[in-house]
Amino acid sequence: MAIAAHNHNDEHLLSTDNALDTLQNLVKDDLLAVNHAIVDRMQSRVTMIPQLAGHLISSGGKRLRPVLTLLCSRLCGYQGTRHIPLAACVEFIHTATLLHDDVVDDSSLRRGIESANAVWGNQASVLVGDFLFSRAFQIMVEDGSLRVLEILSAASAVIAEGEVQQLANSNDLRTTEQDCLAVITAKTAKLFAAACEVGAVVSNQPAKTAQSLATFGLNFGISFQLVDDTIDYAASDSAIGKQIGDDFREGKVTLPVLLAYVRGTQQDRSFWKRTIERQELREGDLACAISLMEKYEVLNDVRSRAREYASAACKGLDDFPDTHERQALSEAAKFCANRAY
C-alpha cells in the first residue's frame, strides 16, 4: 500500500529481498522489541491517537531509521536494552514528521492519496504528530541521557528548519544547488545521523566514534534523499503502486528540477517557469518534465551523486571492526543509492 509522503519511499522497499532485509535480519529480535515498544507507547485513552498513528506506523515500513539505531548500537558492542525504546523514539519523530508533511494547504488538496490527513483531516494529523513527538521526548526522559535528548531535540529543530526552507524554496527557480543540498541534509539526513549517533551514545563510546557514526548517517541520509528526489520523476512502469510526480505538482525545487532548469535552453526554462514557478499545469507536463530530465541526463547525474555520498558513508565506517553489522550498514547505504523505487 502506498502511504503518505512521496519523499519517504523507503516504505516501498519493504517486500523485496535486499540489503535492507539483511539489515533487518541482523537485529530481528531487537526490531520485534522496538515494534512492541512502538505499539505500546502510541497508546492513549484518546482512541483516535492509536488509530491514526497506527495507520501510518503499521503500514509496513522497514523502520530504516530505528534499525540504524539498533545496528549502530550493536556495531559498538552494546549489550543492554536502552537502544530499544530510543529506536522507538526515532521512529516516533519520523512518523510525526510524515504526519506533518502531509498536511495540505487549501491550494493543494488535489493529491488525492490515502494519507492520514485525507482520512482524518489536517487537524487530527497535526495533533497526533504532536502527541508522537511529545511521547518521543517522554521516552527519552525515561532513558535519562541528556546527550540523547540533546541530539534528538537538535535534529528535530533542524528537520523543521529544513522543511520550512523547502517550503520557502517552492516555486522558486533561483534556488541553488547548495540550497537543495542544505534542505536534503536538514529534512532527511539529520535524523539518519541522529539515529546512528544515539547508538554510539548508549554504548558509551568516545565522542570521536559517535561523530563517525553521525557522519555515516548524514552521508547515508543525503544519498537516500537524493535518490528519493529522482524517484518522483521515474518512468511510471518501474514500480508497482507507486505515485510519481507529486514533487512536480507541488512545485518543489528538487535537485533534478534545478539541474534540468540550469542545463535547459531558453524554451526549456520557460517550461520550468510555467510549471514549477507559476504552477500552470497542463496535460502531459509531467511526461515533458521527465523527458527533459532524460535529455540532460539529470536523473543519472543525481543518482551518481547519491552513490558518491553512499561511498563516503561506507568509507566513514573504515575504523570500525569488519563485522556483519558494519557490512550490513555499508550494503544498505549502497543498496539505497542504487534503488530504482
Give residues in contact with its own copies (CB under 8 A): 44-49, 96, 100, 103-107, 109, 121-124, 126-128, 130-131, 133-135, 137-138, 140-141, 144, 146, 149-150, 153-154, 156-157, 159-161, 163-165, 167-168
- Read off φ and ψ for residue 206, nearest 5 degrees: -65, 160
Q: Which is nearer to its own copies, 46 or 340 (CB)?
A: 46
Nearer to its own copies by Cβ, of 137 and 335: the residue is 137
CB atoms within 10 A of CB 246: 14
C-alpha cell recorded at residue 63: 523502520
Q: How far is the CB of 41 from its own copies (least distance, A)?
A: 10
**Smallest gap, in angstroms, from Cβ of residue 19 to its own copies?**
32
Q: Reduced to 3 states, what is the DSSP secondary structure of residue 183?
A: helix
Buried b (16+ CB within 10 A) or exposed e, 250-286: bbbbbbbbbbbbebbeeebeebbeebbbeeeeeeebb
CB of 45 to its own copies, least distance (A): 7
Taking the complex as a whole, the smallest distance from the CB of residue 136 to its own copies amounts, in Å, to 9
C-beta atoms surrounding 15 within 10 Å: 9
End-to-end alpha carbon distance in the chain = 14
Q: Given the complex with its own copies, which of 22 and 165 has the nearer CB atom?
A: 165
Assign 278 to helix, strand or coil.
Answer: coil
Q: Which residue has the cell 507507547?
A: 41
What is the nearest approach in angstroms of its own copies to the Cβ of residue 55? 14
Tell me whether residue 32 or residue 109 sits nearer to its own copies (CB atom). Answer: 109
The nearest distance, CB 47 to its own copies, in angstroms, is 8
CB count in 10 Å sphere of residue 75? 25
For residues 261 and 268, give the distance between their C-alpha atoms in angstroms, rounded to a whole number: 7
> How many whole angstroms separate alpha carbon 288 and alpha carbon 285?
5
CB of 44 within 8 A of CB of 50? yes
Least distance from its own copies to the Cβ atom of residue 315, Å: 29
Nearer to its own copies, 109 or 288 (CB): 109
Give min distance, CB of 86 to its own copies, in A.
15
Q: Spell out a b/e string for 157-172, using b for 16 or more CB atoms within 10 Å of the CB, else e.
A: ebbeebbebbeebbbe
- Is 60 or 121 the residue whose CB approaches its own copies more closely? 121
Q: Which is nearer to its own copies, 247 or 268 (CB)?
A: 247
Is 111 or 263 the residue whose CB approaches its own copies more closely? 111
List own/partner pairs for 141-146 with CB under 8 A and 24 or more apart. Answer: 142/85, 143/82, 143/85, 143/86, 145/82, 145/201, 145/202
**Closer residue to its own copies, CB minimum distance, 68 or 139:** 139
Give the nearest distance from C-beta 182 to its own copies in angstroms. 9
